[in-house]
């Protein structure tokens, strides 16, 4: 089988989570001092450890077949690459921020103002669409100090908790986009390579579905089984096992993490007892 080359960030916010995802997919990555390359031990994958900014280019050129990168870099770099799956980590937003003492009345605040950013393309597109003329100052890092040193009137940057903005006397005034880590692929993959990508995507989906769902089990009076089965249909229908105590059953199902708090009151109202919620490691629907 063809060995697929996958580009991941060498060190930074995406590195650990990217490798953890592959490990959760059952792919063994050799430990030890991190080199520039490492071959998976039990899967036709070779890891290339790179700066995150370089990954879109390598994937576009086919030096790497797939890669993991923040969506923000995909939008910024406008390379010929495909997003094949959102990965649910490294969530952040791309926001406009201004000195906290300034009044903010809306986007027109930025008209003819200077905005510092490492994401000039996203920023220019955003204001062009709004038909608001602005001056974009491109910086490669430490954007948050740009207003303090008189380089710009506002900044446009990646924000997660907002503490860096606060520390620099800035306030977030507009969220332009929300980003998360994504799996990207070269526009043209050979059939062999695509087969390996499909296998990886299948495994990632099983991990993600597992994370989003919980195994739920409880004791229920038999007369409540039809109602609770309708409430918790699970993957096909719940499993129902008789308890030693007559008139009672144990009911097992799967429920999404977000839903189970919504149904818990109804379960109790139906007489359910001893409700247990367990994590699911992998789920194949």
| Residues of this chain that bind ligand ATP (CB under 6 A) | 9, 12-14, 51-53, 70, 72-73, 90, 92, 158, 160, 179
In the complex, least distance from residue 190 CB atom to ligand ATP, rounded to whole angstroms: 28
Which CB, 52 or 137, lies closer to Mg ion?
Answer: 52
Min. distance of Cβ 175 from ligand ATP in angstroms? 14
**Number of residues located near Mg ion, criterion CB under 5 A:** 2
Query: What residues does 171 pair with on adjacent strands?
Result: 98
Query: Smallest gap, in angstroms, from Cβ of residue 166 to Mg ion?
Result: 23
Of 51 and 212, the one with the shorter C-beta distance to ligand ATP is 51
Residue nearest to ligand ATP (CB): 70
Measured from the CB of residue 10, what is the shortest distance to Mg ion in angstroms? 10
Total residue count of the chain as it appears in this document = 285
Q: Identify any residues that bridge with 277 across adjacent strands, giving them in sequence order.
A: 216
Tally the C-alpha atoms within 13 A of residue 111's C-alpha that lie toward its C-beta.
Answer: 9
Residue with tokens 């959760």: 24
Neighbouring-strand partners of residue 38 = 47
The interface partner of residue 224, options being Mg ion, ligand ATP, none and the CB cut-off 5 to 8 Å by kind, is: none
Q: Tell me which of ligand ATP, Mg ion, none is bound by residue 197, counting a contact when its beta carbon lies within the kind-specific cut-off of 5 to 8 angstroms.
A: none
Using CB under 5 A as the binding rule, the residues of this chain from 90 to 129 that contact Mg ion are none
Find out whether 122 and 104 touch, Cβ atoms under 8 Å: no
* 119, 96 Cβ separation under 8 angstroms: no
> Could you tell me the strand order of the sheet in which 114-117 lies?
135-138, 114-117, 154-159, 92-99, 170-179
Nearer to Mg ion, 55 or 185 (CB): 55
Q: Does 54 bind Mg ion (CB under 5 A)?
A: no
Q: Cα–Cα distance between 91 and 70 in angstroms, integer?
A: 8
Q: How far is the CB of 268 from ligand ATP (least distance, A)?
A: 39
**Alpha carbon distance 159, 165 (integer Å):** 8
Query: Rule CB under 5 A: is residue 49 a binding residue for Mg ion?
Result: no
User: Which residues on neighbouring strands pair with residue 8, listed in sequence order?
Assistant: 49
**53 is an interface residue for Mg ion by CB under 5 A:** yes
Interface ranges with Mg ion (CB under 5 A): 52-53
């Amino acid at each position: 089988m063809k060995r697929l080359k996958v580009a991941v960030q060498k060190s930074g916010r995406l590195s650990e989570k990217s490798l953890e995802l592959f490990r959760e997919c059952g792919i063994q990555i050799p430990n030890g001092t991190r080199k520039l390359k490492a071959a998976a031990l039990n899967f036709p994958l070779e890891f290339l450890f790179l700066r995150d900014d370089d990954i879109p280019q390598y994937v576009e050129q086919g030096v790497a077949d797939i890669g993991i990168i923040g969506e923000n870099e995909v939008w910024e770099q406008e390379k010929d690459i495909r997003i094949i799956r959102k990965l649910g980590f490294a969530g952040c937003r791309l926001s406009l921020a201004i000195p906290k003492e300034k009044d903010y009345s809306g986007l027109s605040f930025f008209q003819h103002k200077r905005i510092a950013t490492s994401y000039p393309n996203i920023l220019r597109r955003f204001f062009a669409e709004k038909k608001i003329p602005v001056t974009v100052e491109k910086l490669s890092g430490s954007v948050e100090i740009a207003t303090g040193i008189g380089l710009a009137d506002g900044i446009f940057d990646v924000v997660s908790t907002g503490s860096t903005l606060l520390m620099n006397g800035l306030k977030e005034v507009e969220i332009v986009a929300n980003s998360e880590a994504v799996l990207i692929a070269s526009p043209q993959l050979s059939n062999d390579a695509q087969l390996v990508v499909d296998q990886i995507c299948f495994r990632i989906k099983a991990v993600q579905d597992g994370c989003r769902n919980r195994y739920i089990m409880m004791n229920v009076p038999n007369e409540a089984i039809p109602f609770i089965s309708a409430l918790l249909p699970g993957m096909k229908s719940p499993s129902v096992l008789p308890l030693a105590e007559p008139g009672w059953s144990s009911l097992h199902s799967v429920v999404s993490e977000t839903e189970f708090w919504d149904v818990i009151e109804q379960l109790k109202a139906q007489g359910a007892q001893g409700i247990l919620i367990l994590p699911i490691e992998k789920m194949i629907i």
